Amino acid sequence: MISDVFCKIINGELPAERVFEDDDYLVVKDINPVAPVHWLIMPKKHFEKLDDFGKKDVELLGGALRLADKLAHERGLLKGYRLIINEGEDGGKLVPHLHIHLLGGKRLGQKIVQD
Ligand SMILES: [Zn+2]
């Protein structure tokens, strides 16, 4: 049985500050925010990495992007936001459950990676 931190949050075994939830997705606030708005958008279905999405699941991944945009607009991020997926060790992934970081609430620099 898969029991990463995000699966535990989804199953209610661990607390998190929930921003949005429906049958397919959960959005929570990052516990270590790097911007005024820092949410984690995750499919409830467990995928460890992008390579795990089969053709039938691609819609779920696309839906996460659409949900990000909808929530950003609804919650007042009218001047924009940034989405990031950390993939693998070099990508800085910490939890092995695919999630999308949504950052906003201030003007983010053009530079995505700091040296
Ligand atoms: Zn999981």
Tens of pLDDT, residue by residue over 45-66, are 999 999 998 988 999 999 999 9
Q: Are 37 and 18 in contact, with CB atoms under 8 Å apart? A: no
Q: Which domains does the chain have, with CATH numbers?
A: 5-104 (3.30.428.10)
105: CA distance to ligand 1 center in Å? Answer: 28
Instruction: Tell me 50's DSSP state.
Output: G
36: CA distance to ligand 1 center in Å? Answer: 26
Count how many Cα atoms sit within 13 Å of the Cα of residue 88 in the half-sphere of its side chain. Answer: 4
- Among all residues, which ones are annotated catalytic? 99
Ion ligand 1 contact residues with beta carbon within 5 A: 4, 6-7, 46, 97
Q: What is the pTM of this model?
A: 0.93
Instruction: Tell me 107's DSSP state.
Output: -
Tens of pLDDT, residue by residue over 73-110, are 999 999 999 999 999 999 999 999 999 999 999 999 88
74: CA distance to ligand 1 center in Å? Answer: 27
pLDDT value at 111 more than 90: no
